[in-house]
C-alpha cells in the first residue's frame, strides 16, 4: 500500500507485541488497522505509572 501522505512511498510493516504497525519511512507517518489502537491502549493501561507516594509528615 502506498503512503496516503507521500503518495509515492510504499508503507513498511512492523510487528510489535503482536500488533502490526504500518509506517512510512519517508514522512514517518504511522497507520493502524481497525482494532489496533484499542490493543495499544489496553496494553498501555496495564503498564500505567504507579500512584504517587505521599511525603512523610
Q: For 3-56, how does the pLDDT look when each residue is reduced to its tens digit (9 = 90+)?
A: 999 998 999 999 988 899 999 999 999 999 999 999 989 888 876 666 667 776
State the DSSP code for 14: E
Q: Going by DSSP bridges, is the β-strand pair 19-23/30-32 parallel, antiparallel, or unpaired?
A: antiparallel
* The three cell numbers locating residue 32: 493502524
Query: Has residue 26 been placed in a domain?
Result: yes
Q: Helix, strand, or coil here: 10?
A: strand
Domain count of the fold of the chain: 1
- Which domain covers residue 24, as residue numbers? 12-44
The residue whose grid cell reads 509506517 is: 23
pTM given for the model: 0.65
Structural domain contains residue 49: no
User: How confident is residue 57, by pLDDT bands cut at 50, 70 and 90?
Assistant: low
Predicted pLDDT of residue 48? 60
37 in any annotated domain: yes
Is residue 36, in this structure, part of any structural domain at all? yes
**Looking at the domain assignment, is residue 32 inside a domain?**
yes
Q: Is residue 35 part of a domain?
A: yes
Helix (H, G, I), strand (E, B) or coil at 45: helix
Amino acid at each position: 500500500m502506498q503512503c496516503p501522505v507521500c503518495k509515492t512511498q510504499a508503507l513498511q510493516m512492523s510487528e510489535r507485541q503482536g500488533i502490526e504497525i504500518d509506517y512510512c519511512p519517508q514522512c514517518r507517518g504511522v497507520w493502524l488497522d481497525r482494532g489496533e489502537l484499542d490493543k495499544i491502549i489496553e496494553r498501555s493501561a496495564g503498564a500505567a505509572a504507579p500512584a504517587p507516594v505521599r511525603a512523610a509528615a
